[in-house]
Amino acid sequence: MNVSKAFKAFFQPRAVVGLEVSETYIAAVQVINTLKGPELGCVAHREIGNPDEVVDACRELFAREDLKHEMLVTCLSGGKAFFRQVPIPFRKPRKLDRIIKFQMEPYLPVGIDRLVVDYLQPGDNGLTTAVGVEKASVAEHLETLQEAGLNPDVVTLDDLALYFLYRRIDPYGDDSPTAIVHRSPGKLGVQVIRQGRQELLRVVSNRSDAEEVLAETLKLYRFKNPESEVRRILVAGDLTDLGDSHDSAARPVSPEGIQVQTWSPFDAFSHSLGSFDPALQGRLSVALGLALSMCDEKERVPDLRREEFRTDSAMDLRRMMLTLVSGLLILGFIFGVHLHLRVAIQEARYETLKREIQSGFSAAFPDVRTVVKGRELVQMRQKIDAEREKFSWLEDLSGHGTVLETLSALTGIVSGFTDVLIEDFSVEGREVRLDGRASSFETVDKLKEKLSAHGVFDTVKLSGAKMDKKIGAVRFNFGLEKKR
Torsion of CA 190, 195, 199, 204, to 10 degrees: 10
In the chain, % of residues over pLDDT 70: 89
- Angstrom distance (rounded) from CA 434 to CA 411: 12
Neighbours of 406 (CB within 10 A): 19
Segment holding 431, helix H or strand E = strand 431-438
pLDDT at residue 311 is higher than 50 = yes
pLDDT tier at 180, thresholds 50, 70, 90: very high
Predicted confidence (pLDDT) per residue in 330-363, tens digit: 999 999 999 999 999 999 998 888 888 878 777 7
Are 83 and 129 a contacting pair, CB within 8 Å? yes
CA distance 34 to 16: 12
Q: Please check the confidence at residue 381 and state whether its pLDDT lies above 70.
A: yes
pLDDT value, residue 44: 92
Sheet of strand 420-428, all strands in order from the earlier edge strand to the far edge: 420-428, 431-438, 473-482, 457-468
pLDDT in the model for residue 337: 93
Residue 8: its H or E element:
helix 3-11
User: Please, which pLDDT band fits residue 73 given cuts at 50, 70 and 90?
Assistant: very high
Full 3-state SS string of 206-256: CCCCHHHHHHHHHHHHHHHCCCCCCCEEEEEECCHHHCCCHHHHHCCCCCC
Q: Which ranges of 20-92 would DSSP assign to H, the alpha helix?
A: 54-65
Assign 203 to helix, strand or coil.
Answer: strand
Q: How confident is the model over 62-89, as a mean pLDDT?
A: 90
Which of these, 265, 259, 260, lies nearest to 249 by C-alpha position? Answer: 260
Rounded average pLDDT over 95-119: 91
Q: Residue 12: its pLDDT value, please? A: 73
Residue 441's CB is within 10 A of a number of other CB atoms, namely 13
DSSP H/E element including 215: helix 210-224
Residues 6 or more apart whose CB falls under 8 angstroms from that of 195 comprise 172, 173, 174, 175
pLDDT of 253 above 70: no
CB atoms within 10 A of CB 134: 16
Q: What would the mean pLDDT of 447-458 be, rounded to a whole number?
A: 83
Answer yes or no: is pLDDT of 241 > 80: no
Average pLDDT of the chain, as a whole number: 84
In this structure, whether the domain defined by 3-311 belongs to CATH 1.10.1060.10 is answered with no
Q: What is the pLDDT of residue 409?
A: 81
Q: What is the pLDDT of residue 35?
A: 80
Asked whether the beta carbons of 138 and 116 are under 8 A apart, the reply is yes
pLDDT at 313: 59
pLDDT of res. 312: 63
Classify burial at 395, counting beta carbons within 10 Å of its beta carbon; exposed 0-12, middle 13-18, buried 19 or more. Answer: exposed
Instruction: State the pLDDT at residue 252.
Output: 41
In 3D space, the residue among 353, 180, 140 whose CA is nearest the CA of residue 263 turns out to be: 180
Cβ contact 112:93 at 8 Å: no
Given a cut of 50, whether residue 324 has pLDDT beyond it is yes
**pLDDT reported for residue 234:** 92
Q: By percentage, how much of the chain surpasses pLDDT 90?
A: 34
CATH of span 394-482: 3.30.1360.100
What length is written for the chain?
Answer: 484
Look at residue 118 in the predicted model and tell me its pLDDT: 94
When mean pLDDT is compared across 154-163, 284-293, 320-329, the lowest value belongs to 320-329
Q: Which residues contact 383 (CB under 8 A, 6 or more apart)?
A: 364, 365, 368
Integer Cα distance of 64 and 58 in angstroms: 10
Among the listed residues 57, 43, 239, 21, the one whose alpha carbon sits nearest the alpha carbon of residue 142: 21
Helix (H) or strand (E) holding 453: helix 441-454
Q: Give the alpha-carbon dihedral of 145, 148, 152, 155, to 10 degrees.
A: -20
Confidence of residue 206 (pLDDT cuts 50, 70, 90): confident
Beta strand 154-157 with 71-76 is parallel
Q: Where are the domains positioned within the chain?
A: 3-311, 329-390, 394-482
pLDDT for 4 equals 57
Residue 311, classed as helix, strand or coil, is coil
Task: Judge contact between 27 and 287, C-beta under 8 A.
Answer: yes
For helices 3-11 and 314-364, what crossing angle results, to 10°?
A: 140
Angle at 157 between CA 153 and CA 163, to 5 degrees: 110
Please tell me the predicted confidence (pLDDT) of residue 250: 44
Closest by CA to 476, choosing from 442, 434, 446, is: 434
The closest of 124, 268, 126 to 197, measured between CA atoms, is 124
pLDDT in tens, 400-414: 556 777 778 888 888
Min mean pLDDT across 41-50, 275-284, 385-394, 459-468 is at 385-394
Taking Cα atoms as reference points, which of 190, 165, 194 lies closest to residue 180? 190
Q: Is 462 helix (H, G, I), strand (E, B) or coil?
A: strand
Closest by Cα among 215, 221, 229, 127 to 175: 229
What are the residue ranges of helices labelled H in 227-371? 278-293, 314-364
Query: Does residue 471 carry a pLDDT above 80?
Result: yes
pLDDT in the model for residue 137: 95
H-state helical runs in 20-173: 54-65, 93-104, 135-147, 158-169
- Short-list 67, 60, 75, 6, CA closest to 31: 67
DSSP-assigned letter for residue 58: H
Question: Residue 390 above 90 pLDDT?
Answer: no
